[in-house]
């Protein structure tokens, strides 16, 4: 029975941690997150109580399985973080820790500033790559650091697009309403075609092309007018580099 409870506790913590990450990235909506996270928290607490009744040293089990390192977001949600007050990991104060991550964020923002914006998930990946000396940096840590950098006016910060996708504005973007509509339309896959813009937004071909051209001129989109694609406009900031069309930007 004890082994079954341990397995269930581990699995529930892993699920809760992943749910929080998905919510932070805008994949899960607020209502679903609240409902599912509350159910998972109750399940975790029930498992812990059952394990304590069997005589198990729950704290020892959590330390042995490196739960704080593996599932930091779940640990924070459950208030199970036992780090000393006012201290963060790696011997830094909380402010020092987020400032350190913030420097990596500014490095990524500078390298990608020409895009105007960047998917939150991609920015997190790029930031973590720049911090090999810090193990276990969580999605929430990076998001908190982004918010702090934004509060200091160094980047505009996180924006939630109409479809729920989260992006980070790397430089001030004064998008017109029609430009924002195209960006929202491109958010899910990183590109749109002229025909798609015309159909989804009910625009004339002339208006669709003018708005798309303005986004190219702003550095946010790259035009690919090959016959085989039907005239696509790619938004490098809205998708991971690994998914980029190899033909786009080849001549740049």
If one compares 207 and 161, the residue with the highest pLDDT of the two is: 207
Listed by start position, the domains of the chain span 2-77, 89-160, 175-243
Mean pLDDT in residue range 195-221: 91
> Which of the given ranges, 82-86, 163-167, 170-174, 213-217, has the highest pLDDT on average?
213-217
pLDDT digits (tens, 9 = 90+) for 38-74: 999 899 988 888 888 888 888 888 888 888 888 888 8
Alpha carbon distance 18, 16 (integer Å):
5
Fold type of domain 175-243: Arc Repressor Mutant, subunit A (1.10.10)
> Is residue 246 scored above 50 in pLDDT?
no
Flag whether the pTM goes above 0.75: no
Give me the residue label for tokens 């082994």: 3
Can 89-160 and 175-243 be said to share one CATH topology? yes
**Dist CA 236 CA 113 (whole Å):** 11
At 248, list the tokens: 């786009």
Strand order in the sheet with 191-193: 191-193, 232-234, 222-224
**Separation CA 188–CA 37 (nearest Å):** 25
Alpha carbon dihedral 167, 170, 172, 173, in 10-degree steps, equals: -50
Residue 193 token pair: 């075609």
Instruction: State in words which class domain 89-160 has.
Output: mainly alpha
Structure tokens that stand for 37 in this block:
């996270």
Q: What mean pLDDT is reported for the chain?
A: 82
Sheet with 166-169: list strands edge to edge. Answer: 117-119, 166-169, 157-160
pLDDT band at 241 (very low <50, low <70, confident <90, very high): very low
What confidence score (pLDDT) does residue 227 get? 59
89: pLDDT strictly greater than 70: no
Band the pLDDT of 123: cuts 50, 70, 90.
very high
Top-ranked range on mean pLDDT: pick from 44-53, 79-88, 193-202: 193-202
pLDDT at 81: 57
Confidence of residue 247 (pLDDT cuts 50, 70, 90): very low
pLDDT at 88: 45
Q: CA neighbours within 13 Å on the CB side: how many for 80? A: 22
Distance of CA 188 to the CA centre of its chain: 14
Residue 219 has phi, psi (to 5 degrees) of: 85, 5
**Cβ proximity of 105 and 142 under 8 Å:** yes
Amino acid 141: pLDDT: 86
Measured CA to CA, the distance from residue 187 to residue 177 in angstroms comes to 15
Give the model's confidence band at 210: pLDDT under 50 very low, under 70 low, under 90 confident, else very high.
very high
Question: Residue 77: is it exposed, middle or buried by C-beta count within 10 angstroms (0-12/13-18/19+)?
Answer: buried
Q: 113-148: string of b/e by CB count within 10 Å (b at 16+)?
A: eebbbbbbbbbbebbbeeeeebeebbbbbbbbbbeb
pLDDT at residue 128 is higher than 80? yes
Calculate the alpha carbon distances from 161 to 69, 98, 167, 181, 187 in Å: 31, 26, 7, 9, 8
Mean pLDDT calculated for residue range 135-146? 84
pLDDT computed for residue 166 by the predictor? 85
pLDDT bucket at 137, cuts 50 / 70 / 90: confident
Q: In which band, very low, low, confident or very high, does the pLDDT at 96 lie, cut at 50, 70 and 90?
A: confident
Residues 6+ apart with CB under 8 A from 231: 193, 194, 195, 223, 224, 225
Record the tokens describing residue 15, joined without a space. Answer: 């699920």
């Amino acid at each position: 029975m004890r082994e079954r409870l341990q397995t269930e506790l581990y699995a529930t913590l892993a699920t809760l941690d992943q749910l929080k990450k998905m919510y932070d990235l805008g994949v899960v909506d607020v209502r679903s997150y609240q409902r599912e996270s509350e159910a998972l928290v109750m399940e975790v607490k029930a498992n812990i109580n059952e394990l304590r009744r069997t005589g198990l040293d729950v704290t020892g089990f959590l330390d042995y399985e490196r739960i704080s390192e593996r599932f930091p977001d779940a640990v924070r949600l459950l208030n199970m973080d036992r780090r000393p007050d006012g201290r963060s990991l790696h011997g830094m104060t909380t402010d020092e820790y987020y400032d350190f991550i913030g420097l990596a964020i500014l490095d990524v923002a500078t390298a990608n500033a020409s895009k105007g914006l960047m998917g939150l998930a991609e920015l997190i990946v790029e930031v973590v790559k720049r911090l090999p000396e810090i193990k276990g940096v969580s999605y929430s840590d990076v998001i908190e650091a982004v918010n702090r950098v934004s509060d200091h006016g160094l980047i505009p910060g996180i924006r939630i697009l109409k479809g729920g996708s989260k992006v980070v504005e790397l430089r001030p973007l004064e998008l017109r309403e029609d430009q924002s509509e195209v960006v929202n339309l491109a958010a899910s896959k990183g590109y749109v075609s002229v025909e798609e813009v015309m159909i989804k937004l009910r625009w004339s071909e002339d208006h669709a092309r003018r708005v798309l051209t303005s986004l190219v001129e702003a550095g946010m989109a790259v035009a690919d007018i090959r016959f085989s694609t039907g005239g696509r406009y790619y938004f490098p900031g809205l998708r991971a580099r690994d998914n980029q069309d190899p033909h786009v930007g080849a001549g740049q």
